[in-house]
Amino acid sequence: MAFPGQQDRRLTLALAKELRRTHGRHLDIVEVGNPVLRTQARPYHGQIGAPVFHKLLDAMRSTMLDAPGVGLAAPQIGLPFAFAVVEDHTSKELEGDPREFDEFPFHAIINPKYEPAGDRTASFYEGCLSVPGMEAVRRRWLDIVATWQDENGRSHEQKLHGWPARIFQHETDHLDGELYIDKCEIRSLSTDDNIDEYWDSPSPSDAAEAMGFKI
């Protein structure tokens, strides 16, 4: 299987050049204030030639893991297309944590969508590589039905729960020009250093009481 659309040759050549320059690693991550993060991403249908697209996804994965992060969306490297990479292995370290981490193997999620499955939500601190140094509490659906295409154009549908569901929602929202801070509990906003100093517990309930926000 493959993506059926027509390749944009100029875009493909420009990306190939950029990947050569960066040796396929360490792509620059754009930060909040850059309008690409506020743009509705275009559906991906094969605009990037397949060999370059696969190299780009590898480079996005390296960039995400080195940051370190658990997700990186195309607009975060300046590309207004609807795809992202996700990967999280936190479960091994933190079993029983209320955030409900779970093994989330690497996926390229292309044209992703999600629908809530049930009405349960969960509120926890999260951050974003495009809003460096900050975290805030964000309410998210606890369970979702996620749909996406993989790097070869095959369609997938999967129920996700807990932290993997949060990661999928965060990355998919990027493709609608949305950042997690848009709907966060604004009074929870905290630097990473202050999270470590004051709110280094999995539940944000102490922070909610002390700083005056609802969870």
Catalytically annotated residues:
171
First-to-last alpha carbon distance for the chain, in angstroms, is: 44
Q: In what order do the strands lie in the sheet with 155-161?
A: 71-73, 83-88, 104-116, 143-149, 155-161
If the CB atoms of residues 3 and 173 are measured against Zn ion, the closer one turns out to be 173
Task: For residue 65, give the amino acid letter.
Answer: L
- Residue 72 in the binding site for Zn ion (CB under 5 A): no
Widest Cα–Cα separation across the chain: 55
Q: Residue 28, Cα to own-chain centre: how many angstroms?
A: 16
- Least Å distance between CB 88 and Zn ion? 13
Q: Which of 30-38, 55-63, 128-136, 160-168 is the region at the interface with Zn ion (rule: CB under 5 A)?
A: 128-136
Q: Which of 98-106, 127-135, 145-153, 205-213 is the region at the interface with Zn ion (rule: CB under 5 A)?
A: 127-135
- Residue 142 in the binding site for Zn ion (CB under 5 A): no
Residue-wise over 182-211: b if at least 16 C-beta within 10 A, else e? eebbeebbbeeeebeeebeeeebeebbeeb
- Least Å distance between CB 98 and Zn ion? 22
- Residue 128 in the binding site for Zn ion (CB under 5 A): yes
If the CB atoms of residues 79 and 128 are measured against Zn ion, the closer one turns out to be 128
Q: Which of 6-14, 123-131, 136-144, 187-195 is the region at the interface with Zn ion (rule: CB under 5 A)?
A: 123-131
Q: Evaluate whether 15 touches 114 at the Cβ level (below 8 Å).
A: no
- Least Å distance between CB 114 and Zn ion? 15
Task: For residue 84, give the amino acid letter.
Answer: A
Residues engaged in binding Zn ion (CB under 5 A): 128
